[in-house]
Structure 1
Amino acid sequence: MTDTAVCIPVFTRVKKVSDLFNSVEREGLEKVYIADDGEMTDEKRDLYSRDFDFELEVFDLEYDAGVGEKRRILAERPDEDYLLFVDSDMEVPSNYELLERQLEARPDIGFLGGMYLEKDRLYTVASDLFIEDNVLYRDIREVKEMETVAGSPLVEFDFLPQVGLLRKECAEDYNWDGEYTIMREHIDFFVGHWEHTDWTIALSPSVFFPHYPGGDQEFMSNRHSERKFEESDEYFCEKWGVKEFKKGNALWVDTYQPIENMGKLEHFAEICRNHGPIEAIQRTISFLYRKMG
């Protein structure tokens, strides 16, 4: 059996964490790590003290230690070989084991991500990195090659969502930077591997992470703090010696994009029902490639 643990960075959103725990139990995973830098409320203490079918270990951090520090600790302290990173507003995918099988088949892959599945949207922010005139770009500029690994599609990228299966060895070569409170810790992790390691980063488009975004006022004000963003951006640019960071086409697949030409979202759902999600994704990708010329 593959040695996999679930890693969850937490600030608030306790009800969402409880729902995530239910999905962990449903999928039979045996170990969960929490890095919590929010206020340790009675509601949290009650949740963390319950009896679960899995072992729970909580790292209670200084208030607002930051997303970078939470992820750094979650990648550093566990002993397991594989770490399934899931945000607190998500659930464990029902086919997460496909990520394990694909990592086993491709020992060069350090991080393998999946797709976001929301109420009315299926998408990913997977993209590649480029430097031009001392500006770092995150963009998609070519048709991506899809291969089959462990019987399912896989596509290599430079940048992915931060939800997926991390090979612990990968984080030992370059980990999240604890200096970031919010924002740029995400791009920093993947730039670090792009610049300094040989690990492959890849997406498994057959794996859907159910996503229920949103949060209370404390969470949202922290998540969208202009001051924290400016501090993170300044630190990031100085660290990597770039003038600025820009986003181009950040969406490799998004069911919102083909709607105006394909019709309603129900068309995508109908393909899923009749032919399965992989076929639906492949048809959407083929459509986008044709649209891109």
Structure 2
Amino acid sequence: MTEPAPMRDVTAGVKAFLRQAELRDTLTALTGHGLHEVIVADDSGIGPEREALYAELREVLPLRVIELPYDSGASAGRNAVARACITPYLLMLDDDLIVPDNLAAMRRAVDASRELGGVSCIWREHGRLSSCAANLYRVGRRLYKDIGRGPACVPRPDGKRLPVYDIVEQSVLFRTETFDDVLWDEHFTIMREHVDFFLQHKALGRWRFAVVPEVVMRHEKTPKTAGSDYAALRYGRERKRAADDHFRAKWDLHGVVEGRWQHAHERPVKRALNHAALLAHLRLGRTQPIGMPAGSLDGAQVDAVGG
């Protein structure tokens, strides 16, 4: 294990839903890192098998479980973890991520600059490295999620530089004070909550987010066919449509355009064309500032911005 001491002021938070084997692997990998606490927000409906898992893992982890109403969603779970955290740093994870031995490198990196609200890492999915790190650009009523002309950087104490983006992977070591500014919009049960969260930060302009390239976290992505309940609730068309509709209405957008280096469903050629189109818009000065959407302080957003 690599230098666990730097993690004693860090809480790990895990949003859990149904996947028993994946959750076991995620929590087991957190042992030995010297974390202050591990908080799980679980909206699975905790039955005897789940209780047994938590009882077993309490023997090796400082584990606290928050039971939420069934299918409360990703945003509600992450907000519950953020509100429960009492340490200055929170590592927010999903229940299909396996942290590596050099996790403490993220803790050291977040202090590279006071403007960093958090740092993420690179993912390994099915044996391949991937990242959703990108910048966010508004062109008319489209949001480009693309590297653009390339990332800015901040220096690190070891002489290396951290690439900085508007959006990074959902495996972030946050300064918990960032949650005074932004939480997750609970209108999103699943899908679009991630880009919405970072788009709010982009609009507020108070925090930046970086990637620590030497930290590679395994993402045990669950197949869309795995488990009828899980697949229907997490990948269902109605869920995706509802998330897209709320996101577009909230930000007055037609949709999101994925760029060349994004790990996305669109084909590589189409993403490359999208990237070329964005560079043309940038050269011609056609991007617009991103402001907080009207009505963002209503309903579930009251606690999410300056609440």
TM-score by length of 2: 0.77
1:114 equivalent in alignment to 2:121: yes
* Structural RMSD (CA): 1.8
Distance, in Å, in 2 between the alignment partners of 1:43 and 1:147 is: 46
The number of residue pairs the alignment matches comes to 253
Q: Matched residue of 2:249: which SS?
A: helix
Q: What is the aligned-residue identity percentage?
A: 28
1:230 corresponds to: 241
Q: Contact between 2:119 and 2:173, CA under 8 Å: does it hold in 1?
A: yes
Distance, in Å, in 1 between the alignment partners of 2:126 and 2:246 is: 35
Q: Matched residue of 2:184: which SS?
A: coil
Deviations 1:162-189 (A, max 9, x none): 1120111112111111110110101110
2:146 corresponds to: 139
> After superposition, where does 1:142-221 map in structure 2 within 5 Å?
142-146=149-153, 148-151=155-158, 152-214=160-222, 215-221=226-232
2:104 corresponds to: 97
Q: Contact between 2:9 and 2:36, CA under 8 Å: does it hold in 1?
A: no
Q: Matched residue of 1:27: which SS?
A: coil
C-alpha change, 1:198 and 1:145, in structure 2 (3 Å) is closer
2:254 corresponds to: 243
One of 111, 133, 137 as aligned partner of 1:126? 133
Q: Matched residue of 1:126: which SS?
A: coil
How far off is 1:13 after superposition?
A: 1.1
Distance, in Å, in 1 between the alignment partners of 2:157 and 2:239 is: 41
2:18 corresponds to: 12
Runs (5+) with no aligned partner, structure 2? 1-5, 269-307
Q: Contact between 1:138 and 1:250, CA under 8 Å: does it hold in 2?
A: no
Q: Matched residue of 1:183: which SS?
A: coil
1:65 equivalent in alignment to 2:45: no
One of 39, 45, 49 as aligned partner of 2:55? 49
How far off is 1:216 after superposition?
A: 2.9
Distance, in Å, in 1 between the alignment partners of 2:162 and 2:84 is: 29
TM-score by length of 1: 0.81
Q: Matched residue of 2:30: which SS?
A: helix
Q: Contact between 1:27 and 1:92, CA under 8 Å: does it hold in 2?
A: no
Deviations 1:151-210 (A, max 9, x none): 244100011111120111112111111110110101110000000131011111111112
Distance, in Å, in 1 between the alignment partners of 2:59 and 2:154 is: 38
Distance, in Å, in 1 between the alignment partners of 2:163 and 2:20 is: 34
C-alpha change, 1:119 and 1:134, in structure 2 (3 Å) is closer
Q: Contact between 1:91 and 1:210, CA under 8 Å: does it hold in 2?
A: yes
Distance, in Å, in 1 between the alignment partners of 2:75 and 2:48 is: 25
Distance, in Å, in 2 between the alignment partners of 1:230 and 1:93 is: 35
Distance, in Å, in 1 between the alignment partners of 2:248 and 2:101 is: 38
More helix by proportion, 1 or 2?
Answer: 1
Distance, in Å, in 1 between the alignment partners of 2:199 and 2:253 is: 12
